[in-house]
A and B are shown apart, each in its own frame.
Chain A
Amino acid sequence: MIPPQQVIELGLQAAAASGRSDETIVIVSDRAEASLRWAGNSMTTNGVSTSRTTAVISIVRQGDTARVGTRGSSAVDESAVAALVSAATDAAHAAPEARDNAPLLTGSGEPADWDDPVPTTGAGAFAEVARALSKGFAGTDRLYGYAHHVVETTLVGTSTGLRRRFTQPTGSVEINAKRGHASAWAGVSAPWFTDVPLDSMLEDLSVRLGWAERTVELPAGRYETLMPPSTVADMMIYLGWSMDGRGAQEGRTALSAPGGGTRVGEKLTDLALTMYSDPRAPGLECAPFVHTAAGSERLSVFDNGLGIDRVDWIRDGAISSLVYPRAAAAEFGTAPAVPADNLLMTGGTADLADMVAATERGLLLTTLWYIRTVDPTTLLLTGLTRDGVYLIEDGRVTAAVNNFRFNESPLDLLRRATEAGVPEKTLPREWSDWATRAVMPTLRIPDFHMSSVSQAQ
């Protein structure tokens, strides 16, 4: 494989030599991945992979209009690059006008790390985890789970001189433990697979399985509920994905306001909660610039290389920003706002033990599952509780409860929350295929809506 930097220069040179496009963007992502799965105290699947994706975005301008052609390929041979540029340019000439036209960003040349070798990973990343796991496999609880490590380096180069590079490490370990009919879950985000607290995860799982020695059947209904950080993350990530500005402006999302316009400015809660994304958040670092081969409501190919800063989507309990690429921001007379690939929320100072101790009777959840939109007008979502619903009585966990199907809106949860605990780094279980970087508080909901009982264990 030729180095990714060379792919970028070859692509830009080929485009310049052809003289058939006005501007060109080349994005190369080199990805190394290792995975390990286990079930019933035995490994099931594993693997390592090395791959590259190259995207060429060709832009043809005429007056105030622009046409875009995009071609992507996983091919790694040098000869493929010129063919990709040629195909993208052909596509641009045949394309209708782009709706998100904006000038390309210009750059100040190569960043200091531009030519550094691309870091990688392999099965060796799991050495420590595997040692601790094999001890767990020798125990009496049945263990299921997954360890995953991806190191992906993305380089963006444009014919306007912009060069940006970022290496994104993404890792996670999830363990599901079963004892009899009881099931518990623990998960952590581990970007570089250092210091994965596997032993303490196993201890925590054992405590939770112990809580299930007594079980109580409860019917559907509204319950005071402590939503731990993973569950808050899963609901708030969905809210974040639903916060595109255009849809709200056009009256077609839950962020549209009655009478027209958006809900920006609406106070959801008197709790001083701020929900934000920030590419420089410690331990949750992610790309501080836009890199995308495909346009959408949230991203524009014209914005490739655009710096991403912290954005407060909710500030002090009020909706404060929606997502706008530059062209949409100009259209709607607002500032561009681009989400980084993480999500954080502020909270209070109480830890989970404090919040349990302050609960007379309520439910403590572990994780949520199979979350889908039921009513987009209110962002009503359905889903299930999974791997541990616990009954709190007089400030103590006293039993495990059956699972439930819930119907709730993340907007309504914020509107009704009465307490937020200390924010913690967490793994959002439902969305961990896409989102592993989150910090969230525990939320106390006085009347969480459990719509029906699920027999699933």
Chain B
Amino acid sequence: MSPRHGIDEDFLALPRARLADAALSAATAGGASYADLRVHAITTEIVQLRDGELESAVLDREVGLAVRVIVDGTWGFASHAGLRPDIAADSARHAVGVAVTLAALNAERIELADEPVYPDATWVSNYRIDPFAIPTDEKVALLREYSARLLASDGVDHVSAMVMSVKEQTFYADTFGSAITQQRVRIMPTLEAVSVDAAAGNFESMRTLAPPTARGWEAVADDRVWDWSGELAELPVLLAEKTKSPSVVAGPTDLVIDPTNLWLTIHESIGHATEYDRAIGYEAAYAGTSFATPDKLNTLRYGSPVMNVTADRTIEYGLATIGYDAEGVAAQDWDLVRRGIFVGYQLDRVFAKRLGKDRSNGCSYADSAHHVPIQRMPNVSLQPGTDDLSTADLIGRVSDGLYIVGDKSWSIDMQRYNFQFTGQRFFRIRDGRLDGQVRDVAYQATTTDFWNSMEAVGGPSTWRLGGAFNCGKAQPGQVAAVSHGCPSALFRGVNVLNTRTESGRG
């Protein structure tokens, strides 16, 4: 599909070719065997309202250049906020200096997997309305109107509303000869309603399910992409029902998990677990490692035979979708889990070589000019079943269980075994039908036990793309946006906790 927009003129007006020539030639002259230059601009606008009043509206643009070099098999990196050829050349020399200064600490010679050269490539994501073409006051006005709908409802005492818009523009050039210019946008709208019982000193909240997406303002403006009218009308009713609902009975429970909740479980227990850099210990001191180590590739039973998980940087409206990664590798898609067996990793050019692959699958990303590209998550998605079961069909298979909708809290251990999630709402399932909400629910499991307990997945009609703007990794910390598609799915005997009991309040 051809993009509806070109790359913005102000980014094209930057002296891209001169910056590249200056940086790459200075790096080579300084002794680098390889160098790349990245000019990276991120424009972010965050508008926040509280009870319909403006709390904060800030528009910020960050732009800078980064030079990465290999000198005698060791990486060096330097970045600067200035976009002049002399600064680019100085940064290249600084990067060479860093590599030389720290060379004694490097025991592994850096080598890159091959990739075709793309000498003059451009790519723009598919969005209809550039969020930055919409003035801030128009965004504020819409969020006020959405907030007012919730505040007008019985039982809603407070409303928080937020929309975050991002435009990311990059120019990449390397000593192999690639020169790539890209632009993408993304948007995250959320509204949360709070109900307060002051006498009891208690409160309950519920948030919209609208996912962050690599679309433009069209995802917020009206009901064509997301049914805001329906969701804003339904939310207060569901919240009121939740405040009156009984506390859950803890214990092993059959769960039907909606895609609005399951995407986050996929992110934590599959997405992060199949990062090759984690698996070989690069994140051991920080984000952690993975139980899915290279010796288990093609043998580990990750989950039940209905589990098929793909990775891609190509899906339309995916937050990790891009034309080329931060090392000039073209976007691809591949399998991570096939019929329940662990078959693939996320790679960059160094890790592809280390794993013995011909080519990187294009997972290099840095969130700023001032950060080193690292292996980051592509869109990781659970595939739907072929027999097109509906969510109601899955619920129909459960005699006593829970249907979980919407994500809320998440936590997983540093080897991606033990996780615990909550959600926005939890419906009791009795004899194959929904029977009102319960509250105080968390589910806790070990990754492979959980995925092996997956009895059935919904069909394509249940499949939805969820995601997050704020996936964290690396030191210094970097954030990345990533999407996860999945169907509804049925799990047997998952451990459900009562969070009141967990706090000792029984």
Contact = CB atoms under 8 A, between A and B. Distances in A.
B: contact size bracket = 35 or more
26 contacts: A35-B475, A42-B108, A43-B102, A48-B78, A49-B79, A55-B58, A55-B60, A70-B57, A71-B60, A73-B60, A74-B81, A123-B97, A146-B286, A148-B475, A176-B284, A251-B157, A251-B201, A257-B201, A294-B56, A369-B288, A371-B411, A372-B411, A374-B409, A433-B476, A456-B413, A456-B416
A233 B434 CA distance: 43
A378 B503 contact: yes
Interface in A7-40: 33, 35-40
Interface string B100-141: 011011111000000000000000000000000001110010
Interface stretch (B191-199, B297-305, B314-322): B191-199
Contacts of A457: 415
A384 interface: yes
Nearest to B440: A375
Q: How large is the interface on A (under 10, 10 to 19, 20 to 34, 35 or more residues)?
A: 35 or more
A146 B502 contact: no
A52 interface: yes
Interface string A54-97: 01000000000000111111111100000000010001001111
B56 A296 contact: yes
Interface in B63-114: 63-64, 74-82, 94-95, 97-99, 101-102, 104-108
Interface of A: 1, 33, 35-53, 55, 68-77, 87, 91, 94-100, 123-124, 126, 130, 133-134, 137, 142, 144-146, 148, 174-176, 178, 185, 250-252, 256-260, 293-296, 369-378, 380, 382-384, 386, 403, 405, 407-409, 412, 433, 449, 451-457
B79 A50 contact: yes
Given A46-B372, A146-B475, A451-B420, 11 more contacts: A40-B280, A48-B78, A70-B59, A73-B62, A250-B157, A252-B205, A256-B201, A377-B202, A378-B500, A455-B413, A455-B446
Contacts of B77: 45-48
Interface stretch (B47-55, B177-185, B217-225, B388-396): B47-55
Interface string B16-55: 0000000000000000000000000000001010100111
A407 B57 CA distance: 35
Contacts of A73: 60-62
Contact of A369 (B140, B282, B414): B414
B246 interface: no
B418 interface: yes
Nearest to A50: B80
A95 B64 contact: no
B418 A407 contact: no
Given A47-B79, A251-B201, A375-B440, A96 B61 contact: no
A37 B444 CA distance: 32
A48 B104 CA distance: 18
Contact of B136 (A49, A95, A405, A433): A95
Contacts of B108: 42
B356 interface: no
A373 B323 CA distance: 37
Nearest to A1: B82
A208 to B, nearest CB: 15
B159 to A, nearest CB: 11
Nearest to B74: A43
Contacts of A33: 370, 476
A100 to B, nearest CB: 8
B417 interface: yes
Contact of B372 (A45, A50, A403): A45
B135 A94 contact: yes
Interface of B is mostly: mixed
Contacts of A174: 285-286
Interface string B477-506: 100000000000000000101011011110
Nearest to B501: A407
Contacts of A382: 409, 411, 420, 442
A22 B474 CA distance: 43
A72 B58 contact: yes
Counting from the closest, the 5 A-B pairs by CB-CB distance are A258-B201, A72-B60, A456-B415, A47-B77, A42-B107
Given A370-B413, A371-B411, A372-B411, A407 B157 contact: no
B418 A456 contact: yes
Contacts of B503: 375, 378, 380, 407-409, 412
Pick the most buried of B56, B64, B98, B288: most chain A CB atoms within 10 A of its CB: B56
Given A39-B282, A72-B58, A405-B418, A51 B81 contact: yes
Contacts of A371: 411
Q: Which of B98, B444, B477 has the most CB of A within 10 A?
A: B98
A405 B420 contact: yes
Nearest to A453: B418
A375 B205 CA distance: 11
B194 A45 contact: no
B422 interface: yes
Contacts of B99: 46
A250 B205 CA distance: 13
Nearest to A47: B77
B66 to A, nearest CB: 8
B105 A130 contact: yes
Contacts of B202: 258, 377
B13 to A, nearest CB: 13
Interface in B158-199: 158, 194, 196-199
A62 to B, nearest CB: 15
B200 interface: yes
A49 B78 contact: yes
B374 interface: yes
Contacts of A99: 50, 53-55
Nearest to A384: B413
Contact of A43 (B46, B94, B106, B497): B106
Contacts of A452: 418, 444, 495
Contacts of B78: 47-49
Contact of A75 (B63, B194, B418): B63
A65 B108 CA distance: 62
Given A51-B81, A123-B101, A176 B54 contact: no
B281 interface: yes
A293 B288 CA distance: 33
B249 to A, nearest CB: 17
Interface string B271-313: 0000000001111111010010000000000000000000000
Contact of A130 (B75, B104, B440, B444): B104
A455 B418 contact: yes
A124 B101 CA distance: 8
Given A251-B203, A294-B46, A46 B413 contact: no
A251 to B, nearest CB: 4
Contacts of A87: 59
B196 A375 contact: no
Given A374-B422, A384-B413, A51 B98 contact: no
Contacts of B7: none
A46 B81 contact: no
Contacts of A35: 475-476
B81 A75 contact: yes
A372 B419 CA distance: 12
Nearest to B201: A258
B100 to A, nearest CB: 10
B10 to A, nearest CB: 11
B412 interface: yes
